[in-house]
C-alpha cells in the first residue's frame, strides 16, 4: 500500500508533466483534490499538491481505490514517456534531428498565462501532438510575468481587464540550471546594453518547452522586457522578439542542443533567423551564402491576413537595437535592413525578414495561403502571383484535448483503442454505425454540462456585481448556439443582432426554443471591440429576447472546451477573407457540434474539399465567396443569409424528432461532422505535414 510521502511525490509528478491537461484521467485525479475548488486554485495542480496536508495524504493513502487510481495514472504516464514505438519511431524517424518551434505564445494549461488567444492555442496543440507522435521537438517562448488579462464584465457591459500574473515558483515549471546548479544564463545584445536571459523548463508530455526570462537581469529596464504579454509598446515588443529569437537560439546552444530546423511561428520569432546566420558568417561565408544556407533550416508560418497585423519597427528603433547584433554578425545594419524590407515595405518588417530567411513559408489554410501570396507578391516583382513561395499547411486541433468526455466515450468504442491518435480517414468510417440515440444522449449530456458551467459563471458574476443572475433563463434542452472568439471588429460579433425583432422571434418561439451563448475578449486597446461587447451585453437585457442570450465573461481554455463540446451550433461570421484559419470550429466539428459559418479560413476548405464525403451534410455555409465588397452590403447580405438558414434549416432540423425524441437528420449530420472532419483537421495531421517540411523523416516515409 502506498505511503503518504510516495503519494505526494507521485501526485507531484502527475502535476508537473502537463500531459494531464489533455489526458482526462490524470486531470480528474488532480482536480478532485483541489481545495476549496479547481477554479479557486487557478486550476494549478502544483499548488493543489503543495497544499495537501500530511493528514490528508494519510487519508488518501488509506483509501485503496483512490491510491490505486493514482498509481495507475503514474504508471500510464511512465509508459507514455518511455514508449519506443511512437508514430515517429514506426515511420523511420531520425532521432539525430531536432525541430525547434519558436512562438510568442503557448496555451499549455489555464494556470500558465502564457497565451492570449488562437495563436497560443494552436502552438499548444502543436506541442501536444508533437508529444503524442513522439517527435524530437522543443518549444521556445517567453516567461511573461503578467499574462494576458483575465476578463470581467461590468453591469453595463464594460470590459474590465484584471491582471493575470505568473508566479513561476508556484507553477509546473522548473528553472533551467547549468552544470554548477546555477541558473543557466545567455546574453542578448540590444541598444540598451547586454541583457541577461534565464529560462524555465516545462514538461509537456514527451516535449519540453522553454520560457525565456529577463527577470534576473540587474538592470530594472531589462527585467521589464519579458514582463508584459502584448502589453508593452513597440520598443518593448522589439526587445521581446530579440530575446525570443536570438536568446532562444543561444539557449539551445548553451544546453548543447543542435536543432536541424527552426520553425518560426509568426514573425515574432524572426530574429532567430539572424542568429542562425552568425555561425556561417563567423566561418567566413558572405551574407548571401549564409542566407542561402540558413534557408534550408528555417520554416515560417504566417497567421495574419490583415496587412496592419504584421510586426513593423521604425528605422530608428530597429537601427538602435539591432546595431549591436549586426556588429557581432560583422554585417552593416543597412544590409540586414535589406532582408527585412522590400517594395512597399520601408520599415523593418518581421514577416518580410522571415519570408526572406525561411526556405519554406506557409499560411494556415488554403484560402489564407492565396491571400498571403497576394499580400506579399510585391516582394517578388516579376514572379506570377501563384508562384510566390508561400504555401499552406492547414491548422488543426488536438483531438484528445478538445473532444468532450461524452462524445469521446462513444467514439472510443466505435473507432477503437488509440482513436485519439488516428488521423486516417478510414479509421473514422465506423462512426457511420454509431447508435443515433446514444449520440443524441451524449449531445444532451454535453449541453447540460455546458449550461451548468454557464450558470455557474453567471452566478459568480452576479454575486460580484450585486445583481441577480440571469442564467436561470437558460434551458439545457434548448437549441444552443455559441459564438466565442476574440472581439475584433472583422469577426462581426453583432451580425446576428442586426435585426433584433427577427432574432427575438427565433429565440422565443414557444415550441422551438433557441438560446445564444457569447464569450470572448477584446484587446484592452481595442475600443471598437469593447463597444461590441457592450452592445451584446445590453442586448442580453432586452425584454424582447427574454433572457435567451447570455454573455459569459472570462473566455479561457476551460470555457472554450465546454462551449465547443456542449453547444449544438457553432457560429462564425467573419468578413471573408480576414479569418486566417479559426480553430474553434474544428473543435466543435469533432464534437458533432454543427458549424454555421461564413466561407472563410478552415471552413472554406472543409466545405470545398470534404462536403462530398458527407451523407447528409456537416453544417451550413453562410453567404458566398465574394470578397472586397462594400462592408454595409456584405453585412446586410450575410445577416439575411444567416437568418434564413437558422429559420429554414437549423431550427426545423433540430426539432424534427422521431417517436423516441431523436432528431434523426440532425444526428446524421453530427456523425458526418465527426467522421469526415476529425481526421483532416486534427493537429496530428497538421504536425505530420510539418514533419515533411522539417525534414525529420524522408517524405516518402511520412504517413
Ligand atoms: C480554440 C480557442 C481559440 C481559437 O479559436 P478561434 O476559432 O481562432 O477563435 C481561442 N481561444 C480559446 C480559449 C480557444 O479554446
Task: Give the CATH number, domain containing residue 543.
Answer: 3.40.50.2000
Q: What are the backbone dihedrals phi and psi of residue 202, each rounded to the nearest 5 degrees, phi first?
A: -125, 135
Query: Is the Cβ atom of 555 under 6 angstroms away from ligand 1?
Result: yes
Instruction: With respect to residue 22, please indicate whether it lies within any of the assigned structural domains.
Output: yes
Instruction: With respect to residue 412, please indicate whether it lies within any of the assigned structural domains.
Output: no
Q: Are residues 539 and 617 in the same domain?
A: yes
Domain limit, last residue, from 82, 112, 134 = 82
CA 237 – CA 225 distance, rounded (Å): 8
Q: Is 517 helix (H, G, I), strand (E, B) or coil?
A: strand
CA 273 – CA 388 distance, rounded (Å): 20
Contact 302, 362 (CB under 8 A): yes
Q: Are residues 112 and 38 in the same domain?
A: no
Q: Are residues 72 and 188 in the same domain?
A: no
CA 440 – CA 664 distance, rounded (Å): 9
Query: Is the Cβ atom of 571 under 6 angstroms away from ligand 1?
Result: no
The closest of 407, 480, 419, 501 to 445, measured between CA atoms, is 407
Which 8-state DSSP code applies to residue 344? T
Q: Is 82 helix (H, G, I), strand (E, B) or coil?
A: helix
Q: Which atom of ligand 1 is nearest to the CA of 587?
A: 1
The closest of 613, 623, 583, 626 to 601, measured between CA atoms, is 583
* The pLDDT of residue 212: 98
Q: What is the 3-state secondary structure (H, E, C) of 446-501?
A: HHHHHHHHHHHHHHHHHHHHCCCCCHHHCCCCCEEEEEECCCCHHHCCCHHHCCHH
CA 530, 532, 534, 540 torsion-angle sign: negative
Instruction: With respect to residue 55, please indicate whether it lies within any of the assigned structural domains.
Output: yes
What's the 118 CA to ligand 1 centre distance in angstroms? 5
Q: Are residues 71 and 109 in the same domain?
A: no
Q: Are residues 108 and 157 in the same domain?
A: yes
DSSP string over 223-281:
HTTTSBSS-S-HHHHHHHHHIIIIIHHHHHHHTT---SEEEEESGGGTHHHHHHHHHHH
Q: Are residues 325 and 186 in the same domain?
A: yes
* The pLDDT of residue 546: 85
Q: Which residues span the domain enclosing 62? A: 4-82
What's the 410 CA to ligand 1 centre distance in angstroms? 25
Residue located nearest, by CA, to atom 14 of ligand 1: 560
Q: Are residues 501 and 566 in the same domain?
A: yes
Q: Which atom of ligand 1 is nearest to the CA of 118?
A: 4
| Mutation test residue for ligand 1: of 114, 118, 578, 582, the one with most atoms within 8 Å of CB | 118
Query: Is the Cβ atom of 121 under 6 angstroms away from ligand 1?
Result: yes
- What is the CA 47 to chain-centroid distance, rounded? 24
CA 411 – CA 408 distance, rounded (Å): 5
Query: Is the Cβ atom of 117 under 6 angstroms away from ligand 1?
Result: yes
* The pLDDT of residue 629: 87
Instruction: With respect to residue 673, please indicate whether it lies within any of the assigned structural domains.
Output: no
Query: Is the Cβ atom of 560 under 6 angstroms away from ligand 1?
Result: yes
466: left (phi over 0), alpha (psi -120 to 50) or beta: left
Residue located nearest, by CA, to atom 9 of ligand 1: 485
What's the 483 CA to ligand 1 centre distance in angstroms? 11
Q: What is the pTM (predicted TM-score) of this model?
A: 0.97
Q: Identify the segments of the chain with pLDDT beneath 70.
A: 1, 470-472, 699-703
* The pLDDT of residue 472: 67
Instruction: With respect to residue 219, please indicate whether it lies within any of the assigned structural domains.
Output: yes
CA 344 – CA 489 distance, rounded (Å): 26
* The pLDDT of residue 609: 98
- Partnered with residue 190 across adjacent β-strands are 193
Query: Is the Cβ atom of 105 under 6 angstroms away from ligand 1?
Result: no
CA 80 – CA 167 distance, rounded (Å): 29
Q: Are residues 487 and 625 in the same domain?
A: yes
Instruction: With respect to residue 322, please indicate whether it lies within any of the assigned structural domains.
Output: yes
Q: Are residues 69 and 93 in the same domain?
A: no
Cβ atoms within 10 Å, residue 3: 11
* The pLDDT of residue 699: 55
Query: Is the Cβ atom of 118 under 6 angstroms away from ligand 1?
Result: yes
CA 681 – CA 399 distance, rounded (Å): 9
Q: Are residues 651 and 502 in the same domain?
A: yes
**Distance set, CA 161 to CA 104, 151, 269, 530, 550 (Å):** 21, 5, 27, 11, 20
Query: Is the Cβ atom of 485 under 6 angstroms away from ligand 1?
Result: yes
- Partnered with residue 203 across adjacent β-strands are 17, 208
Domain limit, last residue, from 16, 48, 82 = 82
Q: What angle do CA 499, 635, 482 make, to 5 degrees?
A: 65
Domain limit, last residue, from 30, 54, 82 = 82
Query: Is the Cβ atom of 556 under 6 angstroms away from ligand 1?
Result: yes
| Mutation test residue for ligand 1: of 399, 403, 484, the one with most atoms within 8 Å of CB | 484
At a CB cut-off of 8 Å and minimum separation 6, what does 151 contact? Answer: 159, 160, 161, 162, 521, 553, 554, 555
* The pLDDT of residue 702: 41
Structural domain total, the chain: 3
Instruction: With respect to residue 423, please indicate whether it lies within any of the assigned structural domains.
Output: no
Cβ atoms within 10 Å, residue 335: 12
* The pLDDT of residue 230: 82
What's the 434 CA to ligand 1 centre distance in angstroms? 28
Question: Largest Cα–Cα distance in the chain?
Answer: 80
Supply 76's cell numbers.
Answer: 500510464
Instruction: With respect to residue 40, please indicate whether it lies within any of the assigned structural domains.
Output: yes
Give the pairing of strands 312-313 and 137-142. unpaired
Query: Is the Cβ atom of 683 under 6 angstroms away from ligand 1?
Result: no
| Surface-to-core class of residue 632, CB atoms within 10 Å of its CB (0-12 exposed, 13-18 middle, 19+ buried) | exposed
Q: What are the backbone dihedrals phi and psi of residue 595, each rounded to the nearest 5 degrees, phi first?
A: -80, 135
**Distance set, CA 494 to CA 9, 123, 486, 536, 682 (Å):** 50, 29, 13, 7, 30
CA 499 – CA 591 distance, rounded (Å): 30
**Distance set, CA 119 to CA 115, 304, 397 (Å):** 8, 10, 12
* The pLDDT of residue 21: 98
CA 606 – CA 583 distance, rounded (Å): 12
Q: Are residues 363 and 494 in the same domain?
A: no
What's the 564 CA to ligand 1 centre distance in angstroms? 10
Q: Are residues 183 and 107 in the same domain?
A: yes
Amino acid at each position: 500500500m502506498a505511503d503518504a510521502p510516495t503519494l505526494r511525490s507521485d501526485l507531484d509528478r502527475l502535476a508537473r508533466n502537463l500531459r494531464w491537461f489533455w489526458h482526462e484521467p490524470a486531470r480528474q485525479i488532480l482536480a478532485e483534490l483541489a481545495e476549496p475548488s479547481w477554479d479557486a486554485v487557478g486550476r494549478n495542480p502544483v499548488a493543489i499538491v503543495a497544499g495537501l496536508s500530511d493528514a490528508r495524504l494519510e487519508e488518501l493513502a488509506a483509501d485503496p481505490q483512490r491510491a490505486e487510481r493514482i498509481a495507475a495514472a503514474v504508471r500510464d504516464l511512465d509508459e507514455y514517456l518511455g514508449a519506443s514505438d511512437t508514430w515517429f519511431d514506426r515511420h523511420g524517424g531520425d532521432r539525430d534531428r531536432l525541430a525547434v518551434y519558436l512562438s510568442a505564445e503557448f496555451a499549455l494549461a489555464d494556470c500558465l498565462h502564457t497565451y492570449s488567444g488562437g495563436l497560443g492555442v494552436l502552438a499548444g496543440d502543436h506541442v501536444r501532438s508533437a508529444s503524442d507522435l513522439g517527435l524530437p521537438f522543443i518549444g521556445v517562448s517567453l516567461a511573461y510575468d503578467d499574462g494576458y488579462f483575465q476578463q470581467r464584465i461590468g453591469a453595463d457591459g464594460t470590459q474590465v481587464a484584471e491582471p493575470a500574473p505568473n508566479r513561476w515558483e508556484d507553477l509546473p515549471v522548473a528553472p533551467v540550471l547549468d552544470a554548477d546548479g546555477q541558473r543557466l544564463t545567455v546574453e542578448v545584445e540590444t541598444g540598451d546594453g547586454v541583457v541577461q536571459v534565464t529560462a524555465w523548463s516545462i514538461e509537456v508530455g514527451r516535449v519540453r518547452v522553454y520560457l525565456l526570462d529577463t527577470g534576473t537581469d540587474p538592470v530594472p529596464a531589462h527585467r521589464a522586457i519579458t514582463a508584459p504579454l502584448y502589453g508593452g509598446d513597440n520598443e518593448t515588443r522589439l526587445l521581446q522578439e530579440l530575446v525570443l529569437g536570438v536568446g532562444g537560439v543561444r539557449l539551445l546552444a548553451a544546453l548543447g542542443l543542435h536543432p536541424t530546423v527552426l520553425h518560426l511561428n509568426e514573425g515574432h520569432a524572426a530574429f532567430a533567423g539572424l542568429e542562425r546566420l552568425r555561425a556561417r558568417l563567423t566561418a567566413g561565408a558572405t551574407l548571401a551564402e549564409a542566407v542561402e544556407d540558413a534557408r534550408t533550416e528555417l520554416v515560417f508560418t504566417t497567421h495574419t491576413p490583415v496587412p496592419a497585423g504584421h510586426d513593423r519597427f521604425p528605422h530608428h528603433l530597429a537601427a538602435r537595437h539591432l546595431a549591436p547584433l549586426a556588429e557581432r554578425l560583422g554585417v552593416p545594419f543597412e544590409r540586414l535592413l535589406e532582408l527585412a524590407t522590400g517594395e512597399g515595405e520601408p520599415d523593418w518588417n518581421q514577416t518580410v525578414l522571415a519570408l526572406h530567411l525561411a526556405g519554406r513559408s506557409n499560411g494556415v489554410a488554403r484560402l489564407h495561403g492565396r491571400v498571403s501570396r497576394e499580400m506579399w507578391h510585391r516582394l517578388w516583382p516579376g514572379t506570377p502571383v501563384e508562384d510566390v513561395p508561400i504555401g499552406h499547411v492547414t491548422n488543426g486541433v488536438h483531438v484528445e484535448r478538445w473532444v468532450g468526455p461524452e462524445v469521446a466515450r462513444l467514439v472510443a468504442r466505435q473507432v477503437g483503442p488509440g482513436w485519439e491518435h488516428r488521423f486516417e480517414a478510414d479509421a473514422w468510417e465506423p462512426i457511420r454505425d454509431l447508435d443515433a440515440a446514444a449520440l443524441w444522449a451524449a449531445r444532451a449530456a454535453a449541453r447540460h454540462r455546458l449550461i451548468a458551467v454557464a450558470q455557474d459563471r453567471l452566478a459568480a458574476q452576479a454575486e460580484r456585481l450585486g445583481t441577480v443572475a440571469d442564467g436561470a433563463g437558460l434551458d439545457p434542452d434548448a437549441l444552443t448556439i455559441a459564438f466565442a472568439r476574440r472581439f475584433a471588429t472583422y469577426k462581426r460579433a453583432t451580425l446576428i443582432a442586426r435585426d433584433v425583432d427577427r432574432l427575438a422571434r427565433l429565440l422565443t418561439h414557444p415550441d422551438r426554443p433557441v438560446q445564444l451563448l457569447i464569450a470572448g475578449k477584446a484587446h484592452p486597446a481595442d475600443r471598437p471591440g469593447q463597444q461590441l461587447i457592450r452592445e451584446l451585453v445590453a442586448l442580453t437585457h432586452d425584454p424582447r429576447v427574454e433572457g435567451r442570450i447570455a454573455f459569459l465573461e472570462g473566455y479561457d481554455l476551460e470555457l472554450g472546451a465546454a462551449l465547443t463540446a456542449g453547444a449544438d451550433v457553432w457560429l462564425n461570421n467573419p468578413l471573408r477573407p480576414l479569418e486566417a484559419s479559426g480553430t474553434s470550429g474544428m473543435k466543435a466539428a469533432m464534437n458533432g457540434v454543427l458549424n454555421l459559418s461564413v466561407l472563410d479560413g478552415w471552413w472554406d476548405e472543409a466545405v470545398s474539399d470534404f462536403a462530398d464525403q458527407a451523407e447528409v451534410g456537416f453544417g451550413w455555409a453562410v453567404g458566398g465567396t465574394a470578397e472586397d465588397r462594400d462592408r454595409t452590403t456584405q453585412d446586410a447580405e450575410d445577416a439575411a443569409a444567416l437568418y434564413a438558414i437558422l429559420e429554414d434549416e437549423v431550427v426545423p432540423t433540430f426539432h424534427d424528432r422521431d417517436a423516441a425524441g431523436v432528431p434523426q437528420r440532425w444526428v446524421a449530420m453530427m456523425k458526418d461532422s465527426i467522421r469526415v472532419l476529425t481526421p483532416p483537421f486534427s493537429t496530428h495531421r497538421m504536425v505530420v505535414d510539418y514533419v515533411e517540411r522539417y525534414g525529420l523523416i524522408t517524405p516518402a516515409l511520412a504517413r
